[in-house]
Chain A
Amino acid sequence: MTTTVRLDVNGEVREVRADGATPLLDVLRDQLGLVGAKRGCSYGVCGTCTVLIDGMAARACLAVAADCEGRAIETVEALAPGPDRLHPIQAALARAGAVQCGFCIPGVVMAARALLAVNPAPDEDAVREALSGQMCRCSGYGALVEAIVGMGRPQDG
């Protein structure tokens, strides 16, 4: 049965329509116009729809929207302070040349954000583990890993 569900998305309470099975991803993309989370498989394997739920990386295609009431949902759209100003994670990925086709990138950004929140200076193994659910077919992961590891190092200057 479709009901109204109140979701806290990117710090704003939004009312959406969902039944007991509607995936969070459908609500984000189709009702709220937040298309940064991508649909690569719809069954929790590719990681292109990764968002944060209460700070933890989660698959929006597997999360049930109605279960997310009262929890803080964050999508990639919340990160950059402005169109020409990137979040430090985003800037690091751009500098490293880690962005190719870009379809995996919003999910990677969110997975990196979840990792860095609990482990501000991850080593390479920790980063590879954190990205284990984020498929990328373009990069071979090297530049993604390098950029995220670099976030934990003291910055020059």
Chain B
Amino acid sequence: MADTLAVGRGIPRLEAPAKLTGRAVYVDDIRRPGMLHAALLLAPHAHARIVSVDVSAALALPGVRCVLTGDDLPHRFGAFVKDETVLARGTVRYFGEPVAAVAADDLATARAAVDLIVATYEDRPSVMDPDAALAPGAPVLHADFATYERRRASPLPPNVCAETTIAEGDAEAAFAGCDVVVEGVFETQPQVHCYLEPCGAVAEVDDRGRVTIWSPCQSVFRVQATVAEALDLPMSRVRAIATMVGGAFGGKSDVTVQPAAALLAMRTGRPVKLVLSRNDDFLSMRTRHPARVRVRTGAMRDGTLVARTVDLTLDGGAYAEDSGAVLGFALLMARGPYRIPHVRCVGRAVYTNRLRAAGFRGYGNPQVTFAGEAQIDDIAARLGLDPVEIRLRNAMRTGDRWVGGQELASCGLTECLEAVRDAARAVRRPPPAPGRRRGTGFSAIAHICGILSTSAVLKVLEDGTLTLNTGAVDLGEGSDTVLAQICAEALQVPVDRVNFAVPDTDGSPYNWSTGGSRVTYMVGRAVTAAAADVREKLFAHAADMMECAAIDLELRPGGKVGIAGVPGREVGFRAISMRAHWAVGGPVIGTASVMFEGGFDPKRTEMTGDGIGRLGTYVFGAQAAEVEVDEATGEVRVLEVWSAHDVGRAINPLAVAGQIQGGVAQGLGYALMEDLVYDGERPANPSLADYKVPGAPDLPPIRPIIVEHPEPTGPFGAKGIGEPPVIGVAPAVRNAIAAATGVRLAVLPMTPERVLDALSAQEERSDDGTGD
């Protein structure tokens, strides 16, 4: 990589010094003159009619400036189904749903006022899981569902908010010809995002009557659009600005508390800060979709996979939010990264009286990959095949087509599988202590990077330095740095000459979101295109200035344009930009707009419902985990994890390694410990003290392996890495437990209790002589 100036270099991220010294500004660090503080009243019922909300005592408390209830915010919003209001109106549908919002001179007064609100409820029967919600005669969460505005207005059964089918070939017929057909049912739990920074917003009405909202978010444009919808304002009256984001992982993708903060600011005329307490965040925000996945896979004796069917039920919780998209994407990924010609994937997302489920790193893929990759190991065990060999035999390769027909322009899956296999097998450890059993498990994964549209504006300042404005919010993954590196490389300038603009709907060009592992790939494409636009304009000036043809010009490192083959004949960006600003042509500004336009062939693939066809470029990886199982306690200790990912090209290998290690850590939490447990109608552990996420002593060494098969459509060959590392961890750990002990688990998280129960059941079976 010696030929590059910026791309391929593991430079520390641009904002690291500000974060390390405490100078970085997160939403709770913002103070505005005359600022009020806000708090929410959360519902103490999972399903109830709101009889009355008496706010008179709260309003009478000195220092209270405004109290809002559902009647103040009547407009329904939602990306797929407009089923949600900012504060509950008439009905509460989950324990913790916001019912009222208070703004007061200080936070203590706001919280005291919340306690003075007298809300009375009439309890209704609740449905706490999809089976209950789909049972005949079940209570219906959204009685007016038929009247809701929806993206797709086909009829749906009661309590179902989305249904999708994706199919190719004829799976049912193909099973008949298989040597072996394996079927299993797998269940996954609600995982909480647990970004370290609770959700919050500061809102203020400016001197033109517009409301400005500072918040940690994944897209200032989605905040702008959703606040406008929830408050029934034109988008031009709402300005959203990103603060530093203390982690998001999908949990700050849609609006959080921005609409309530905005209306409090509009009603009081004062700036309002609304930051959730940790436990209010647990109770009122989001989780990963709990899922039940029934998978059937048929194979030939030599391990060739022939057919797969998947039936997926997602628990969407009380509001649809992104459930339709999560469902469609999960089904698109449910075949797995294999050449399986016959596949039928069907699924539904179901309303229940739980916290709404939402996008969370992986977006439905971890659930189906847990099921699918566990089953690949079960087939290998049944056929007596090596688990890596069966994956290699069926692995997709460059030139193959995904479900829907999109051709893979790059696919390093085989290399990833070989890399984790070789790394795991190279390790030599002393034998385990008595009573402990050891095993290694594998998984293969695919995901996408892409999705919808984005844009970039690149300005050449008078002194020849650059301001890059993309509207893309860096959630901590390092995208500001990576995009600056792409820009610097494209124009052959040092990274420190690229200023990355703060996302602001007033000044930034549109960017759909930081999600779908898309920023490096999609925004990177927009940046390279904007840089090409700048280069062309700089060349036109330089050709004039040096009296030559633009075609003879080249970029030279350090921000210069020279005549190819003539050393010394060159002009700097500064000279060109001064000319442009003060004499000829006007300022040099490069722009680009891009849209992901993939292929989906309806003649090849059946798709109904909220299926998703043109999503992104496919990315591939493989993961391995070595575990040690304590036979007496059921405790699973992970000794080491290897995670290989084809990233096309690593723009910043340090940041890529960070994404891999962090994603694997979240995957280990998902595999072994994290679970928002319900005690009847209410979450039993909505706090960081009771909801266990992995700490430093819990985690093993996590070994990132970067594989680079350049993607022709990516910026400098790059693809995405944000989500993939979380996806295959749970099945790799599950398969390692199976390799160690023979027990084949099907429910997450794989707690000591569940492992011990499975070990005991296995022992009983072998005592009965019925074991395999």
Contact = CB atoms under 8 A, between A and B. Distances in A.
Interface of A: 29, 34-43, 45-46, 48, 75-77, 79-80, 83-84, 86, 90, 93-95, 97-106, 109, 127-129, 131-145
Given A42-B278, A86-B17, A104 B697 contact: no
A76 B20 CA distance: 8
Contacts of A143: 657-658, 661
Name the prevailing secondary structure of the B interface residues.
loop
B21 A103 contact: no
B472 interface: no
A40 B688 contact: yes
A90 B697 contact: no
B21 A138 contact: no
B278 A40 contact: yes
A79 B22 CA distance: 10
B196 A137 contact: yes
B695 interface: yes
A105 B476 CA distance: 12
A101 B28 contact: no
B26 A94 contact: no
B389 to A, nearest CB: 29
B658 A97 contact: yes
Given A37-B22, A38-B26, A139-B658, A102 B476 contact: yes
Contact of B246 (A84, A103, A128): A103
Nearest to B108: A26
B478 interface: yes
B20 A80 contact: yes
B21 A137 contact: no
Interface residues of B, number: 55
Contact of B687 (A43, A128, A129): A43
B21 A76 contact: yes
A134 B492 CA distance: 40
B20 A38 contact: no
Interface of B: 10, 12-13, 15-24, 26, 28-29, 194-198, 244-249, 275, 277-278, 475-478, 654-655, 657-658, 661-666, 687-689, 693-697, 699, 701-702
Contacts of B16: 93-94, 99, 102
B377 to A, nearest CB: 24
A46 B278 CA distance: 10
A42 B654 CA distance: 32
B476 A100 contact: yes
B246 A97 contact: no
A90 to B, nearest CB: 4
B288 to A, nearest CB: 14
B13 A99 contact: yes
Given A36-B22, A135-B693, A102 B15 contact: yes
A8 B15 CA distance: 30
Contact of B22 (A35, A99, A136): A35
Most buried by A among B654, B658, B664, B687: B658
Contacts of A133: 695
Given A99-B13, A137-B693, 8 more contacts: A38-B28, A77-B22, A99-B12, A102-B18, A135-B688, A136-B696, A137-B194, A143-B658
Nearest to B667: A140
Contact of A86 (B21, B196, B665, B694): B21
A99 B689 contact: no
Given A102-B15, A132-B695, A138-B658, A90 B196 contact: no
B174 to A, nearest CB: 41
A69 B29 CA distance: 25
